[in-house]
C-alpha cells in the first residue's frame, strides 16, 4: 500500500489565462502538489488566500488592480503565506520590485519565461521551489530599523578583534534577511562584506542593484582580482565560486564543479576564508535549506575565526543555521539585526 502523500495546495496568480494554464500543467505530473485556485489580479489573490488557505502562492508581479508587490504586502497582513514571485530578468525595474516583494515577505523569485527553453527550465524548477517554501516560516520584516534586545551570548564567546571582512552565506529567505542585517551596520564600519546568496540565475545583478539602492554601501557583483575594501559589499555572480585570498583579493572560479549543487557555494567562500585569513574574517550563515556553508563555517571556527548563525525564530528556513549549530560550527545564533550588532563588537573602536 502506498504511503499517504501530503499534498501541497497552490494558488496561481497571473492576469494571463494562458500563463496560468501552462503553470497548472507543470504541476499535473506531481503527486504532491495540487492547484486549488487561480486568480487574475492581486485583489482576487488576497481574497482567495483567505478563502482557500493555500500552502503556497505563485504570483506574477505585473497585474491589474493590485500588482504582485502590493498583493504580497496585503497577504502578509491578512494571512501570511509562503509566496513565490515570477519576475522578468530583462527588466531591472521589475527585478527591484521583486526584491521589495521579498522584503515584504515573499520567499523566492523565479524568472518569468520569455522563450521556450526558459519555460522548460521553469517546469523543472517551480515544483521543487514550491516544495521548499511550503514548509518555510513566513517572517514579517520591518520597514524601518528598530532597536533590538540586548545580544544574548547563546553560550558563545565573541572576542573583540580587528576584523577586516565579513563573509555571509544564505539561501531561501536570504535577500530580506541580508538586507535587514546590513541595514543595521554603521555606514563607517571598517570592514568589507562578501556574500554568497543562492538565487535563480540572472537575479544576482538585480539583488546587488536593490541592496545598493537600499544601503549606504558600495554594493556590486564581485569581479575577479579586485581587493575587497572597507565599506564595500560584493556578491558572488552566478556560475562562479567566490573566494577570498590574503590581503582581501577576491577570486572568481567558474571552472570548479558545483558543490552540493551550488555554484557559487557558501562552503567554497568560507573554506577560502579559513585557509587564507581566518583571524581577520567573521563568517555568518543565514536562513536556508540544506547544509551548504556548514563545512566552511566549521573550518573557519577551527582555524580561529569568528562564526555566527541566524537564529531559528527569525529564519524562514532553519536548515543551514541549524546544521551549523548542531555541528558546533557557530559561536552564537541571533536574529539579523542582533547579528549586525554582534559584528560591530568584533572590530576595534579605533577602526583601521
Q: Which residues are catalytic?
A: 171, 198, 292
Nearest to 206 by CA among 87, 54, 76: 87
Kind of pairing, strands 250-253 and 241-244? antiparallel
Residue 74 burial (CB < 10 Å; 0-12/13-18/19+)? middle
Cell 487561480 locates to 38
Please give the backbone phi and psi of residue 126, each rounded to the nearest 5 degrees, phi first: -65, -50
Q: Count Cα atoms within 13 angstroms, Cβ side, for 235.
A: 26
Q: Helix axis angle, 266-276 relative to 294-302, nearest 10°?
A: 10
Q: How far apart are CA 254 and CA 240, in angstroms?
A: 4
Q: 171 near 289, Cβ under 8 Å?
A: yes
Handedness of CA 83, 73, 204, 117 (dihedral sign): positive
CB atoms within 10 A of CB 302: 13
First to last CA, the chain: 67
Q: Is there a cis peptide before residue 139, judged by omega within 30 degrees of 0?
A: no
Instruction: Report CA-CA distances (Å) from 164 to 40, 189, 193, 246, 272.
Output: 50, 10, 9, 11, 15
Residues 6+ apart with CB under 8 A from 95: 87, 88, 89, 109, 203, 205, 206, 209, 210
Determine contact, residues 253/268, Cβ cutoff 8 Å. Answer: yes
Amino acid at each position: 500500500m502506498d504511503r499517504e502523500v501530503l499534498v501541497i495546495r497552490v494558488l496561481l496568480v497571473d492576469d494571463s489565462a494562458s500563463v496560468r494554464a501552462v503553470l497548472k500543467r507543470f504541476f499535473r505530473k506531481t503527486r504532491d502538489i495540487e492547484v486549488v485556485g487561480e486568480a487574475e489580479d492581486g485583489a482576487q489573490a488576497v481574497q482567495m488566500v483567505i478563502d482557500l488557505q493555500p500552502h503556497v502562492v505563485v504570483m506574477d508581479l505585473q497585474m491589474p488592480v493590485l500588482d504582485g508587490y502590493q498583493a504580497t504586502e496585503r497577504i502578509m497582513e491578512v494571512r501570511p503565506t509562503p509566496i513565490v514571485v515570477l519576475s522578468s530578468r530583462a527588466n531591472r525595474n521589475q527585478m527591484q520590485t521583486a526584491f521589495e516583494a521579498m522584503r515584504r515577505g515573499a520567499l523566492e523569485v523565479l524568472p518569468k519565461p520569455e522563450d521556450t527553453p526558459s519555460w522548460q527550465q521553469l517546469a523543472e524548477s517551480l515544483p521543487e521551489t514550491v516544495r521548499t517554501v511550503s514548509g518555510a516560516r513566513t517572517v514579517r520584516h520591518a520597514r524601518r530599523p528598530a532597536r533590538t534586545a540586548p545580544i544574548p551570548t547563546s553560550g558563545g564567546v565573541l572576542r573583540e578583534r580587528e576584523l577586516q571582512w565579513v563573509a555571509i552565506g544564505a539561501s531561501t529567505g536570504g535577500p530580506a534577511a541580508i538586507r535587514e542585517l546590513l541595514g543595521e551596520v554603521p555606514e563607517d564600519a571598517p570592514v568589507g562584506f562578501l556574500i554568497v546568496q543562492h538565487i535563480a540565475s540572472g537575479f544576482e545583478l538585480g539583488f546587488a542593484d536593490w541592496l545598493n539602492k537600499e544601503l549606504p554601501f558600495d554594493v556590486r557583483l564581485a569581479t575577479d582580482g579586485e581587493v575587497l575594501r572597507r565599506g564595500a559589499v560584493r556578491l558572488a555572480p552566478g556560475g562562479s565560486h567566490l573566494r577570498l585570498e590574503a590581503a582581501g583579493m577576491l577570486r572568481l572560479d567558474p571552472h570548479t564543479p558545483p558543490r552540493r549543487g551550488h555554484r557559487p557555494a557558501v562552503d567554497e567562500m568560507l573554506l577560502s576564508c579559513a585557509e587564507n585569513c581566518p583571524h581577520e574574517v567573521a563568517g555568518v550563515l543565514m536562513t536556508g535549506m540544506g547544509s551548504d556553508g556548514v563545512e566552511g563555517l566549521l573550518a573557519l571556527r577551527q582555524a580561529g575565526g569568528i562564526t555566527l548563525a541566524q537564529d531559528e525564530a527569525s529564519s524562514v528556513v532553519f536548515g543551514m543555521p541549524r546544521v551549523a549549530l548542531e555541528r558546533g560550527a557557530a559561536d552564537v545564533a541571533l536574529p539579523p539585526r542582533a547579528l549586525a550588532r554582534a559584528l560591530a563588537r568584533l572590530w576595534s573602536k579605533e577602526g583601521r
